[in-house]
Amino acid sequence: MDLAIDDIRQRLADYTPQISDAKFEDTEVRGAVSVVVNSTDAGDCELLVIRRAEHEGDIWSGDIAFPGGRVDSAEEKPRAAAERETLEEVGIDLGAADYIGRLDDLSGRTVAVLVSAFVYETHGRPEIEMSHEVADTRWVTLSEIASPERQVWREFEYRGGKIELPGIRIFEDERVPILWGLTYRFLEVFMRVAGLPIPNMPWRSDL
């Protein structure tokens, strides 16, 4: 099932996200990301994802993610941080896009991180200008995200042991990491709200 951008816009308008009341100083890392949505000529919608550049010591090195980064201070609003980081990372000025909603705030499982996500609609694919923080980008359709063929499980280190977690294969190159973790959980929220939930890949409630 393809979803029109009008449907997504309406569903997000009707959605009440769960917003954390944690103070800035209560988290090791406060972050914000942008979920950038574009309507394709074929009638489907697509999201922009990035592959982060690899940097030694960076726990998110090489990960597949949405554009975004740290909230710099208690005075900076998360939405402003998401827009600033998106401009810095991929050269997209979200002031020229339509803000259409917010997703739930999500906390990290292994790192004291709290991340907010804001959804924007662009009018056509904006030009990408990658910074040194970004190794690659891709527009991925909602149909691809919801495709069972792209759903995978991978083994990760977790609290001193190993655990299998769900993810989505975004890039065809098997050497490129899958989309997983917080970005996967944000996608779960987005796809559920949009009315096209990710199939048969529930996040384990015991983690």
DSSP secondary structure of 32-83: EEEEEEEE-TTS-EEEEEEEEPP-TT-TTTT-EE-SEEE--STTS-HHHHHH
Task: Report how far apart, in Å, the C-alpha atoms of 124 and of each of 46, 71, 141, 188 are.
Answer: 10, 28, 14, 24
The reply to whether 200 falls in a domain is no
Is the pLDDT score of 205 beyond 60? no
Residue-range definition of the domain harbouring residue 134: 5-19+28-194
Q: Which two tokens stand for residue 31?
A: 């972050």
The DSSP secondary-structure symbol of 157 reads E
Per-residue pLDDT reduced to its tens digit, 94-137: 998 999 999 999 998 766 789 999 999 998 999 999 999 999 99
The reply to whether 204 falls in a domain is no
**Average pLDDT of 36-62?**
86
Per-residue pLDDT reduced to its tens digit, 173-204: 888 899 999 999 999 999 999 999 987 544 44
For the CA atoms of 97, 131, 34, 170, the dihedral, rounded to the nearest 10 degrees, stands at: 110
pLDDT confidence band for 160 (50 / 70 / 90): confident
Phi and psi at 135, nearest 5°, equal -90, -30
The reply to whether 137 falls in a domain is yes
The reply to whether 90 falls in a domain is yes
- State the CATH number of the domain containing residue 134: 3.90.79.10
The reply to whether 95 falls in a domain is yes
Which amino acid does the sequence have at 174?
A: E
The reply to whether 206 falls in a domain is no
Of 104, 79, 83, nearest to 93 (Cα)? 83
Q: Determine contact, residues 194/100, Cβ cutoff 8 Å.
A: no
As a whole number of angstroms, the distance between CA 90 and CA 53 comes to 12
The confidence score (pLDDT) of residue 1 equals 53
As a whole number of angstroms, the distance between CA 36 and CA 100 comes to 10
Does the predicted model carry a pTM greater than 0.85?
yes
Please list the alpha-helical segments (H only) found in the chain: 5-14, 78-90, 142-146, 181-194
The reply to whether 201 falls in a domain is no
The reply to whether 199 falls in a domain is no
Domain count for the chain, please give it. 1
